[in-house]
Amino acid sequence: MLNVIIFLGSPGSGKGTQAAKLSNAFNYKHISIGDMLRNNVERKTELGLKASGFIDSGALVPDDLIIQVVGKFFEDSASSSDGKIILDGFPRTEPQALALEKIINNLGIALTSVIYLNVTDDEVISRLSERGREDDSPELVLNRLNVYRNQTEPLLKYYSQKNLLKEIDGNRFPDLVFAEITELIGVEA
């Protein structure tokens, strides 16, 4: 049966790094919504053209657009994948979380874990200033942290109430963080 792991955490918390490591180690399909969006912006697709202004200002791309894209991904992979899926960067809002639940319930997919990488703002700011992506300028990082606080952080409570949240101290070296993740989800991996 398909199952899904979600990575939650602020920008720069290491979601992408850890999701990639985990997918390699345990054969998960890694879906990074941010990478997918940037790829669409580069190719100037309809989605890319609609999304680029939001990304460039540090805002979230509107829910309906993102939900459509993710819905389509699950429809396509439900039939083709035997798999295990890691969602990196989705959901980021409550409407996205509700939509995801609907999508996966309809397809008989289980949400097994929500891994929350908890990182201090100081650490985030220092990491992103080194990364140097276009949306990593100091001003945009502050915007994205604000957006995270207001729109994404409420999901921590949502998933904690469902007993799915696994909190990890993400301030440490990537290998240590990864070791803890594998320990936490080892049984399901």
Active site residues: 15, 92, 131, 133, 144
Measured from the CB atom, the residue of 63 and 167 that comes closer to ligand ADP is 63
Question: Is 169 in contact with 116 (CB distance < 8 Å)?
Answer: no
Per-residue HEC secondary structure of 3-57 comes to EEEEEEECCCCCHHHHHHHHHHHHCCEEEEHHHHHHHHHHCCCHHHHHHHHHHHH
Picking from 20, 9, 2, the residue whose alpha carbon sits closest to that of residue 83 is: 2
CB of 125 to ligand ADP, least distance (A): 12
Measured from the CB atom, the residue of 24 and 62 that comes closer to ligand ADP is 62
Measured from the CB atom, the residue of 89 and 170 that comes closer to ligand ADP is 89
Query: Among all chains, which residue has been given the structure tokens 């509700």?
Result: 98
CB of 187 to ligand ADP, least distance (A): 27
Measured from the CB atom, the residue of 58 and 170 that comes closer to ligand ADP is 58
CB of 52 to ligand ADP, least distance (A): 9
Picking from 155, 149, 129, the residue whose alpha carbon sits closest to that of residue 140 is: 129
Tell me the residue number closest to ligand ADP, measured at CB: 34
Radius of gyration (Cα) for the chain, nearest Å? 16
- Cα(161)–Cα(2) distance, rounded to whole angstroms? 23
Interface residues with ligand ADP (CB under 6 A) are 11-12, 15, 33-34, 37, 54-55, 58-61, 66, 89-90, 92, 96, 135, 144
